[in-house]
Amino acid sequence: MTHEYDPLTQCDDAAMSSVLESMQSTDAIAMSALNDTLARWPRDYRLWFLRGAIHAGQEQHGEARTDFVQTVTLAPEFHVARFMLGLLELMSGDLQVAAQTWQPLDRLTESDALRVLKDGLLNLGHDRFDVALEQLTRGLALNQQHPLINHYVRAVVEKISGLPEVASTTADSTVEQEHHLLLSGYQGNQTRH
């Protein structure tokens, strides 16, 4: 989903370009740039998402969750943030909260990658490994809009594929080294004047 640029709440192109450039460096430099930019534009959901993605990449799940909650609060239809928030909740063992967080994704088409991936993860939470593996594999194939989340999902697929219950099923086990997840959520959301 593409959100329209709002100069009252979103940083301008120069500031976003600076943030994105900083993200090609270390996490510390990127975090510093994001914090500085958030101080000027605290209602820019994209900045919260990017910061949450860095926290998630560092396995700082509590901080990532806080930032993704803020992202979804500011932009409820920013689906990749909702997906990541639900994933963090699922990873923390709270299947019911993840399902509730993901409920708005049910409004997406049945062939939308985020919905298919969400369904696969929920089936995994209910120990339906074969169904989960099929849905996650299909979701990965469908996912063109947010490719940088694929390495998170591939890691799950690899774990499922190694379980005795699904040992006869194989999945692509190549996990590519990805840039920050945050860039996938930002792609297609450049500001427009």
Question: How does pLDDT run across 95-118, given as a tens digit for each residue?
Answer: 999 999 999 999 999 999 999 999
Distance, in Å, from the CA atom of 170 to the CA atom of 15, rounded to the nearest integer, reads 44
Measure the CA–CA gap between 155 and 130, rounded to whole angstroms: 16
Q: Between vectors from CA 160 to CA 157 and to CA 161, what angle results, nearest 5°?
A: 85
Instruction: Say if CB 140 and CB 153 are below 8 A apart.
Output: yes
Cβ atoms of 158 and 129 within 8 Å: the answer is: no
pLDDT of res. 156: 82
Per-residue tokens: 48: 């919260």
CA distance 96 to 126: 11
Q: Mean pLDDT per 10-residue run, the chain (193 residues)?
A: 67 95 96 97 97 93 96 96 95 94 98 98 94 95 92 83 56 36 44 37
Quote the CA–CA distance of 100 and 160 in Å, as a whole number. Answer: 23
Q: Which two tokens stand for residue 81?
A: 């943030």
Residue type, 87: L
3-state secondary structure of 189: coil
Structure tokens at 169: 């099923």
Amino acid 79 reads: H
Which residue reads 């901080």 in tokens?
A: 63
Q: How many CB atoms within 10 Å of residue 155?
A: 12
Read off the pLDDT of residues 28-38 as tens digits, 9 standing for 90 and up: 999 999 999 99
| pTM summary value | 0.80
Nearest to 45 by CA among 103, 5, 105: 5
Residues in the chain: 193
Segments making up each domain of the chain, as ranges: 13-186
Query: What pLDDT sits at residue 155?
Result: 83
What is the topology classification, in CATH, of domain 13-186? 1.25.40
Q: What is the DSSP letter of 2?
A: P
Distance separating alpha carbons of residues 65 and 156, to the nearest angstrom: 19
